[in-house]
Amino acid sequence: MIYEPAEDSELLLEAALKEVRGGDEVIEIGAGSGFVAEKLKDKCRFLLTTDISPYAAKELRRKGLDVIRTDIAKGIRKKFSLVLFNPPYLELEDNLKKGDWLDVAIDGGKGGVEVIERFLDSLRDIMDAKGRAILIASSYNEPRIYTLLEEKGFRYEIIAERKLFFEKLYAIRIWIE
C-alpha cells in the first residue's frame, strides 16, 4: 500500500542529487517508500519527510528517517532551503479507484493538478526566501502546470526530463524572485 519507486522517483532523485548542498535543510513531501530521502539524508544538514499514508509513515520511520504524517506539509512551521515533491499527477478514473492509500498516492485530482495546486499554495509557507523546490510533473499536466506556477508568482525551469512510452516526465526547479 506504498507507492513503489518508478521512473518519476528516479527522476526526482537524479534532480535532487544535482541540486542538494551540504548546508541544505530539506523536506521531501509524500516521501512514500523513502527511495529519495534515504539517498539524500547524508548529503544535507537536515532532512524531514512527510506522507499522508500511515503505511508510508511507518516505513519511513523503520528506515530511520524523520517523518511527520500529514497532508503535504500541513502543520509544519519550519522553512526549508530545498523542498522536494513527486506528487500524484494523473487523474485516476473512478472505475480504477480501489478506495485505499494507493489511490491517494496516484490520483492527482481533476486534470492531475489538484494536489499540485495545493502544494503550490503551501510552498511559500515551507520554502525559505532563497530556497528552491523540485516538483515532478507529467506532460499530461501541460500547459496547466506552467499557468499555475506563473499565476502563483513562481519562477521555474525544467532541469531534467524523462521520456516514457506514453508521456514525458519533468523535474521542475521552482524558486521565488
The topology (CATH level 3) of 7-175 is: Rossmann fold (3.40.50)
What is the maximal distance between C-alpha atoms in the chain? 46
pLDDT per residue as tens digits for the range 83-99: 999 998 777 665 665 66
Domain locations along the chain: 7-175
- For residue 25, count CB atoms less than 10 angstroms from its CB and return exposed for 0-12, middle for 13-18, buried for 19 or more: middle
The answer to whether 44 and 24 have CB atoms below 8 angstroms apart is yes
What is the pTM for the complete model shown?
0.93
- State pLDDT tens for residues 138-147: 999 999 999 9
Nearest by Cα to 12 from 78, 69, 116, 84:
84
Residue indicated by cell numbers 531534467: 160
- pLDDT, tens only, 60-75: 999 999 999 999 999 9
